[in-house]
Amino acid sequence: MKKSMLLCTGLCIAIAFTSCKSKESAYRQAYEKAQAADAASAVQQQTQQVDQPVVTPLVEKPVTDNRVVDNMDNVSVRQEKLTVVSGSGLRNFSVVVGSFSVKANAEGLQQRLINAGYSAQIAYNADRNMYRVVASTFDSKYDAVQSREQLRSVYPDAWLLFNQ
């Protein structure tokens, strides 16, 4: 009885698999339908291109050269009220190369600048509780900007200060 039941089950499975076979005509119909859809979308794109407005090409004109050789007025300057802690005194424009909240750190940088040949000074900003290390100080903004540009090779964050 078990053998006949197993034989019938195997026969039913074999018949089920053979009856589910896909036909080539079904694949061909799906392929042809996809080709028709592609052809229709191509025609639709061509009609859309015809409906788009025509844009005239961009005509390039030569650019006139407007170089600014010397524009010191656009250099940003910070304004702070400072008191000189160590040094001979500040003029109108100063080049600041370091800012520290600890005075000993400011003195270390000042000593390095003095050893490098600068007349470095330390000024204190009471509003911000910061010691500013000034590498050089000038009466004119032009001279201060030139000095700052030279110092930026070693101190890239150097900035200008206008003493109030």
Q: What is the CATH number of the domain that holds 148?
A: 3.30.70.1070
Residue 43: inside a domain? no
Residue 18: inside a domain? no
pLDDT bracket for residue 6 (50, 70, 90)? confident
Count up the domains in the chain and report the number.
1
pLDDT bracket for residue 147 (50, 70, 90)? very high
Residue 100: give the domain boundaries. Answer: 76-163
Mean pLDDT of 124-138: 94
Among the listed residues 85, 92, 101, 72, the one whose alpha carbon sits nearest the alpha carbon of residue 136:
92
At residue 113, the pLDDT reads 94
Q: The whole model's pTM is what?
A: 0.56
At residue 83, the pLDDT reads 92
Residue 107: inside a domain? yes
> CA 77, 82, 84: angle at the middle one, nearest 5?
120
Q: Which two tokens stand for residue 121?
A: 């000074």
Residue 84: inside a domain? yes
Residue 36: inside a domain? no
Residue 31: inside a domain? no
Q: For a pLDDT cut of 90, what percent of the chain falls above it?
A: 47
Round the average pLDDT of the chain to a whole number and report it: 82
Residue 94: inside a domain? yes
| pLDDT surpassing 60 at residue 139 | yes
Residue 27: inside a domain? no
